[in-house]
Amino acid sequence: ILNVEQSPQSLHVQEGDSTNFTCSFPSSNFYALHWYRWETAKSPEALFVMTLNGDEKKKGRISATLNTKEGYSYLYIKGSQPEDSATYLCAFVEDDKIIFGKGTRLHILP
């Protein structure tokens, strides 16, 4: 069973501050990495699908980078807003199987 590790588990950030968190995954046999946002009482929604080493993706104030050689991805949020409060999941794809980390729970403080 492969391990997808996310850190930190939980994070409190002041509104307006920027933040980032990490996903680490096996560097061998890489196929794709996904990031999802999971808001309370909703279902996870995809943010990014990343496939190439050095990929950088951006959606509004959220961006992600990928390093497949060393097995990590960072998710960045610029100028945090209350609506960014959610759990952020990364998922490693192996043999078409999507394996999730436990997530980073982000709380934005007003």
Q: Which of 13, 22, 26, 32 binds other proteins (CB under 8 A)?
A: 32
d(CA 89, CA 44): 8
Q: Which of 72, 74, 76, 100 binds other proteins (CB under 8 A)?
A: 100
Looking only at residues 64 through 93 of this chain, which bind other proteins when binding is defined by CB under 8 A?
Answer: 89, 91, 93
CB 19 within 8 A of CB 13: yes
**Interaction between residue 30 and other proteins (CB under 8 A):** no
**Interaction between residue 44 and other proteins (CB under 8 A):** yes
Bond preceding residue 44 cis, omega within 30 of 0:
no
Q: What Å distances lie between residue 32 and 21, 47, 71, CA to CA?
A: 18, 13, 11
Q: How far is the CB of 110 from other proteins (least distance, A)?
A: 26
Q: Which of 80, 101, 106, 108 binds other proteins (CB under 8 A)?
A: 101
Q: Which of 1, 29, 40, 60 binds other proteins (CB under 8 A)?
A: 1
Please list the residues that pair with 81 across neighbouring strands: none
